[in-house]
Amino acid sequence: MGVEDASNSNSSSQCDVDDKNNTLVVLNVYDLTPINNYMYWFGFGIFHSGIEVHGKEYGFGAHDFPASGVFEVEPRKCPGFIYRCSITLGQINMNPSEFRTFIENMAGEYYGDTYQLLSKNCNHFTDDVSYRLTGKRIPGWVNRLAKLGTLCSCLLPESFQVTGVKQLPEYHECSEDEFVESLSTATPHGSTEIDDEQEKHLLSPSAGAEDVTFVKESRVK
């Protein structure tokens, strides 16, 4: 009886741990423009999206530096966008620490200066995260205009094809020592120096975006 009770207790404890690690993967979709209210019904629109896991939302934005463009915000409250809806993509069994390692690895693949409106935007990021976590893609309508733009890129101005939309604050949260190190390696637009105004803008979130935190990418050892 004692052995059986201990076994049942251990099994129950393991179930409790598994239950705590189970978390939904949710896609939060935002409007970039009020025109979406009309375009949405025709299957089109200009959208931003973020992935919500373990009570935080993660997105991808553009800046001029070779550092993480992946950021976290409170779910459904991404500054600068109009929240539209949430879509449950699936459920995973991954504790917060394991997920943090996962998203930091993703941050190493999504630098702010690699953002491309048609080929590597915020919706490509959420689609990639969703597929890696759940094996499912995000709904096609979320990124449909980018896909159509890629097919018709020959008709678009060159500047539109290569320029990322900078909707998010251009700062990377780090310690003082890490920031000094980043100044020695970051060379936006081929420049070898960062002037005082650029430095201030890099470190300081824009007005209304105090709750945005960039995810520090994991370093290859």
Residues with a catalytic annotation lie at 48, 122
Q: Hey, what are 118's tokens?
A: 């048609």
Task: Say which residue the tokens 């251990």 belong to.
Answer: 10
Which residues does 106 contact at the CB level (< 8 Å), separation at least 6?
A: 70, 125, 128, 129, 132
Rounded distance between C-alpha atoms, residue 78 and residue 201, angstroms: 19
Three-state secondary structure string covering 43-102 = CCCCEEEEEEECCEEEEECCCCCCCECEEEECCCCCCCCEEEEEEEEEEEECCHHHHHHH
